[in-house]
């Protein structure tokens, strides 16, 4: 069983993958339309996608690259399609991104992040 399989939702769930709450700063680059680069916060993450919160208004149908850390995307960057944008107060938005065509390196990076944050969530608070 792959590491990502442990994040599969229960059979009666409307979602294929369980979302893991996170608070991660990500760099993103919109592809195709201006190649804008910006920072956002990931608020939940799954093998199927991510929910981003930020001031940068993306549009449904935009293709984005997301990565942590360095100012340039690495081999483990995650590519996705914006499937929903929900405006929030103060010019913020919740942006739902579905991962597409993930490389082996991207899947490894995603699994590492998911396991780390899932373990943090499960750890007892002292």
Q: Tell me the pLDDT of the chain (126 aa) as tens digits.
A: 467 787 877 766 777 888 889 999 998 888 887 677 888 999 999 999 999 998 777 899 999 999 887 666 776 789 999 999 999 888 889 999 999 988 888 888 888 888 888 876 665 555
CB neighbours (10 Å) of residue 19? 18
pTM recorded for the entire structure: 0.84
Q: How far apart are CA 6 and CA 18, in angstroms?
A: 9
Give residue 35's pLDDT.
Answer: 72
Domains of the chain: 19-119 (2.40.10.220)
Q: How much is the pLDDT for 76?
A: 72
């Amino acid at each position: 069983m792959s590491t990502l399989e442990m994040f599969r939702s229960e059979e009666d769930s409307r979602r294929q993958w369980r979302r893991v709450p996170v608070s991660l700063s990500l760099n993103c680059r919109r592809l195709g339309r201006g190649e804008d680069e910006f920072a956002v916060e990931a608020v939940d993450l799954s093998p199927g996608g991510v929910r981003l919160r930020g001031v940068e208004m993306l549009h449904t149908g935009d293709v984005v690259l997301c990565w942590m850390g360095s100012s340039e995307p690495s081999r483990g960057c995650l590519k996705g399609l914006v499937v929903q944008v929900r405006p929030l107060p103060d010019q913020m938005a919740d942006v739902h991104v579905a991962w597409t065509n993930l490389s082996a390196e991207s899947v490894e990076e995603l699994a590492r992040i998911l396991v780390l944050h899932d373990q943090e969530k499960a750890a007892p608070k002292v």
